[in-house]
A and B are shown apart, each in its own frame.
Chain A
């Protein structure tokens, strides 16, 4: 595995991880895009050393690089693309509903926070869904 690819994987993963810790969903989308790229490059790198292009009259089977991880990487890219679109749609919907695209605290977090503030839960915040 080449050191350059390793550095690329490391850089993509660390920036991606930093971005998905954000509250804003648009940053999280970017973070997942980078993380996904990091994973895809890692998959490519797992195929071993690079080989010559797989052209019928120019190289034999043992000269070309391993095609299996590349097939896996392609599948992963397609899935990642679809999910990025879905996340963007979700961010858009959240913006319509709430005016921003921030990921909100879950019900238990809010309940515990209100209990520590007021000493008892208000009926409103204890309200379950839907």
Chain B
């Protein structure tokens, strides 16, 4: 099953190369991209089945041992997150093919190959077993995201792209310095060895390393007060790009944080994390309430939801980590779907502004339905996946007697519902705006392309419903993954 691990990383890279080589042949180019992403997604699901039945596996790339070479680890945590992450990119690419010929679409010659590179980076970041490969994977993801964000070269994109690039580049440099510190303190960058050696360090060095990487991963994950780049840059990109960014990029940051800080037992940082988690939730929720544009509201929600995952991690209990993992799994597809429906709204109304649209529920009830399901899920109402995820995190909070953070989480949840209601009232209810407005960018999308876009969104909505359907097994699996991480033995029972 080692080839499954390689396939998840190599297939999207090959697809990117193919799509670049045949960039002048639209059908071949789109076909190659889709096949590459589908192969990677299938490999990820295969890996999930294999690991659940046979236990975790590792690959030492090139035959070097873990202390010197690159290690790829498919443990329970990785295989839980990987299929969902890759499936999201796959669905978004289908949506993108439908959207390409409209004014809102991304440049297909570049976005296909870049999405392939980004996918390879996401697979590598999830599967890596050492800290330096994680750095390389981050760079793969970020470099392609820089280009995806700014390649259209519009004024707004370049302006917000500069903030985005500078913030993330700074975090990457901090990552590199952190690597130097970790290597001189422990003599390794392998995560499994770090799990043994970091807890043996003296208190100051240990907490220092933990805090340093909290800042590094926190910038990527957009926690308070390092989030300012996110709501500024995400809405300016084409919808498909934003959907991938919102669904994946910040989540890779929080994924790395859950992995690194749990296996190295940074329990002392727990109280700081909980405070930051609370502030992140509230700031994100209030920020969303103040916005007038669908994509900007959704961007602030990304920040708010990161707070819940951080809360689960900050509790440093088995139940808390389980909750954080469940929240991660729930949040990735739901957020992507919401941005995709945001794209459908823009495509139909010519604008994502709340005061320029209205009455969409009666004219296009299917879009309203596709928005309502993930919106209610995000707000945490049963029986959707958001309820299970929030229930997991909040129950862990109550078990740990962390009453203030539980109260904050519940209030932030209510505020999220309120801003979702705002989108609903602005876009789906009320009177349609028929004025000839220069701000509108109405495009004639062919029926086939529209069907493709709605179909891709419907597929993703079905995916989020499947998650709530399999809540029981997922909960057990997440508990196992959390226990593995907390024991620090990510390779327990692995084939070497």
Interface residues of A (CB under 8 A from B): 1, 13, 20, 25, 28, 32, 35-36, 38-40, 42-43, 45-48, 68-69, 72, 75-76, 79, 82-83, 86-87, 90, 93-94, 97-98, 103-104, 106-108, 126-130
B284 CB, nearest partner CB in chain A, Å: 13
Please measure, in the bound complex, the distance between the C-alpha atom of A48 and the C-alpha atom of B235, giving whole angstroms: 46
**Chain B 392-421 residues near chain A, CB threshold 8 A:** none
A113 CB, nearest partner CB in chain B, Å: 15
In the complex, the answer to whether B176 meets A40 with C-beta atoms within 8 Å is yes
Which chain B residues border A86 with CB–CB below 8 Å? 143, 146-147, 165
Q: Are A79 and B150 CB-contacts (below 8 A) given A107-B232, A130-B156?
A: no
17 example contacts (A-B, Cβ-Cβ < 8 A) are as follows: A1-B184, A28-B166, A40-B176, A43-B180, A45-B184, A46-B183, A68-B183, A86-B143, A90-B150, A90-B158, A90-B161, A98-B155, A103-B162, A128-B235, A128-B352, A129-B156, A130-B235
Which chain B residue shows the least CB distance to A36? B173
In the complex, the answer to whether A75 meets B180 with C-beta atoms within 8 Å is no
B219 CB, nearest partner CB in chain A, Å: 14
Contact partner, A32, options B150, B173, B296, Cβ 8 Å: B173
Which chain A residues border B166 with CB–CB below 8 Å? 20, 28, 103
Which chain B residues border A75 with CB–CB below 8 Å? 132, 136
B364, CB-defined interface residue at 8 Å: no
Contact partner, B173, options A35, A45, A46, Cβ 8 Å: A35
Which chain B residues border A69 with CB–CB below 8 Å? 180, 183
Most buried by A among B139, B147, B439: B139
Given A39-B180, A47-B183, A90-B165, 8 other A-B residues pairs in contact with their CB atoms under 8 A: A35-B173, A43-B180, A72-B179, A90-B150, A94-B158, A94-B159, A106-B232, A130-B236
In the complex, the answer to whether A79 meets B136 with C-beta atoms within 8 Å is yes
Which chain B residue shows the least CB distance to A107? B232
Which chain B residues border A98 with CB–CB below 8 Å? 155, 159
Q: Are A46 and B180 CB-contacts (below 8 A) given A106-B163, A108-B231, A128-B293?
A: yes
Most buried by A among B135, B143, B165, B352: B165
In the complex, the answer to whether A43 meets B179 with C-beta atoms within 8 Å is yes
Which chain A residues border B352 with CB–CB below 8 Å? 128
**Chain B 145-176 residues near chain A, CB threshold 8 A:** 146-147, 150, 153-163, 165-166, 169-170, 172-173, 176
Please measure, in the bound complex, the distance between the C-alpha atom of A103 and the C-alpha atom of B233, giving whole angstroms: 13
Please measure, in the bound complex, the distance between the C-alpha atom of A79 and the C-alpha atom of B133, giving whole angstroms: 13
In the complex, the answer to whether B162 meets A25 with C-beta atoms within 8 Å is yes
Which chain A residue shows the least CB distance to B173? A35
Nearest 10 pairs of A and B residues by beta carbon: A128-B293, A46-B184, A42-B180, A39-B176, A106-B232, A46-B183, A129-B236, A46-B180, A43-B180, A129-B156
Please measure, in the bound complex, the distance between the C-alpha atom of A36 and the C-alpha atom of B235, giving whole angstroms: 30
Which chain A residues border B229 with CB–CB below 8 Å? 106
Q: Are A106 and B228 CB-contacts (below 8 A) given A39-B176, A45-B180, A97-B158?
A: yes
B68, CB-defined interface residue at 8 Å: yes
B251, CB-defined interface residue at 8 Å: no
Please measure, in the bound complex, the distance between the C-alpha atom of A68 and the C-alpha atom of B143, giving whole angstroms: 24
Interface residues of B (CB under 8 A from A): 68, 132, 135-136, 139, 143, 146-147, 150, 153-163, 165-166, 169-170, 172-173, 176-177, 179-181, 183-184, 189, 228-229, 231-232, 235-236, 287, 291-293, 295-296, 352-353, 439
Which chain B residue shows the least CB distance to A84? B169
Please measure, in the bound complex, the distance between the C-alpha atom of A40 and the C-alpha atom of B176, giving whole angstroms: 8
In the complex, the answer to whether B176 meets A106 with C-beta atoms within 8 Å is no
Please measure, in the bound complex, the distance between the C-alpha atom of A23 and the C-alpha atom of B302, giving whole angstroms: 28
A84 CB, nearest partner CB in chain B, Å: 10
Which chain B residues border A13 with CB–CB below 8 Å? 177
In the complex, the answer to whether B163 meets A103 with C-beta atoms within 8 Å is yes
Please measure, in the bound complex, the distance between the C-alpha atom of A82 and the C-alpha atom of B165, giving whole angstroms: 13
Which chain A residues border B146 with CB–CB below 8 Å? 86
A20 CB, nearest partner CB in chain B, Å: 7
Which chain B residue shows the least CB distance to A44? B180
B286 CB, nearest partner CB in chain A, Å: 12
Which chain A residue shows the least CB distance to B160? A106
Which chain B residues border A106 with CB–CB below 8 Å? 160, 163, 228-229, 232
Contact partner, A93, options B150, B177, B295, Cβ 8 Å: B150
Which chain B residue shows the least CB distance to A121? B292
A41 CB, nearest partner CB in chain B, Å: 9
Please measure, in the bound complex, the distance between the C-alpha atom of A70 and the C-alpha atom of B189, giving whole angstroms: 13
Q: Are A83 and B158 CB-contacts (below 8 A) given A39-B180, A68-B68, A90-B165?
A: no
Which chain B residue shows the least CB distance to A86? B146
Contact partner, A82, options B136, B143, B158, B170, Cβ 8 Å: B143
B285 CB, nearest partner CB in chain A, Å: 15
Please measure, in the bound complex, the distance between the C-alpha atom of A52 and the C-alpha atom of B292, giving whole angstroms: 64
Which chain A residues border B189 with CB–CB below 8 Å? 72
Please measure, in the bound complex, the distance between the C-alpha atom of A14 and the C-alpha atom of B179, giving whole angstroms: 19
B57 CB, nearest partner CB in chain A, Å: 24
B162 CB, nearest partner CB in chain A, Å: 5
Which chain A residues border B293 with CB–CB below 8 Å? 128-129
A19 CB, nearest partner CB in chain B, Å: 12
Please measure, in the bound complex, the distance between the C-alpha atom of A42 and the C-alpha atom of B150, giving whole angstroms: 32
Please measure, in the bound complex, the distance between the C-alpha atom of A128 and the C-alpha atom of B300, giving whole angstroms: 14
In the complex, the answer to whether B162 meets A108 with C-beta atoms within 8 Å is no
Which chain A residue shows the least CB distance to B156? A129
B448 CB, nearest partner CB in chain A, Å: 25
Q: Are A94 and B162 CB-contacts (below 8 A) given A86-B143, A128-B292, A130-B235?
A: yes
Which chain B residues border A97 with CB–CB below 8 Å? 153, 155, 158
Which chain B residues border A48 with CB–CB below 8 Å? 184
Which chain A residues border B143 with CB–CB below 8 Å? 79, 82-83, 86
